[in-house]
Amino acid sequence: MKKLNSYIQAETDKGFKILKDYSPWHREAIVNYERNCVVFNLKYLTNKINSFYENFLIGVLYHEIGHLIYFKQYPITFENFTETYKTNSEYFAFEYSLKTLIEIANNGDLEPLEATFENIYNRIKKLQDNNIEDENNSYSHVNALLRLANSEIFHKCQNFLTTASI
């Protein structure tokens, strides 16, 4: 995970707090709002769970950083922590990750964008076929992904990757 670690270091140098820990949750990373940090699950980073690979995890890094930025702009309160808030946060995080990965691709590393976009594209296709099972009944993810499918950044990534593969 040398490449992922270099992206983590670059973001740490920018002031983002990124931790690595063994965790009981079954996700590759989460945002810890109280500690204002991203926490990567070491089960994924040490290949104890092989379902994700490094370039996709780079996309996860930028998705979670997107959450941190959103939470800073729109702090969570008891009153605003609604399904709409969660959906907006998820949408912002997906959008932020794609924008960042296009910048990275423009600087010569296309693989994280390819891996992340493929994952997002496949998730959206399943949702459009009314299969929400893989989203663990997270309506904020479902709604954000369906919204993302019609977004400018989604189509920009699709066109970018189509052009890059020609």
Nearest to 35, CA basis, from 74, 68, 58: 68
Percent helix, strand and coil across the chain, each to the nearest 5:
65, 10, 30
50 pLDDT above the threshold of 60: no
pLDDT the model gives residue 42: 83
Phi, psi of 136 (to 5 degrees): 50, 40
pLDDT the model gives residue 166: 54
Residue 49 CA to its chain's centroid (Å): 18
Decide: pTM greater than 0.85: yes
Mean pLDDT of all residues in 129-140: 78
Contact call for residues 65 and 91 (beta carbons, < 8 A): no
Structure tokens at 52: 């994700």
Contact call for residues 96 and 65 (beta carbons, < 8 A): yes
CA angle 21, 24, 26 (to 5 degrees): 100
Nearest to 65, CA basis, from 41, 98, 103: 98
Mean pLDDT of all residues in 101-114: 96
Residue 113 CA to its chain's centroid (Å): 11
For the chain, what percent of residues have pLDDT higher than 70?
92
Q: Identify the band that residue 69 occupies on the pLDDT scale cut at 50, 70 and 90.
A: very high
73 pLDDT above the threshold of 70: yes
Question: For the chain, what is the mean pLDDT?
Answer: 90
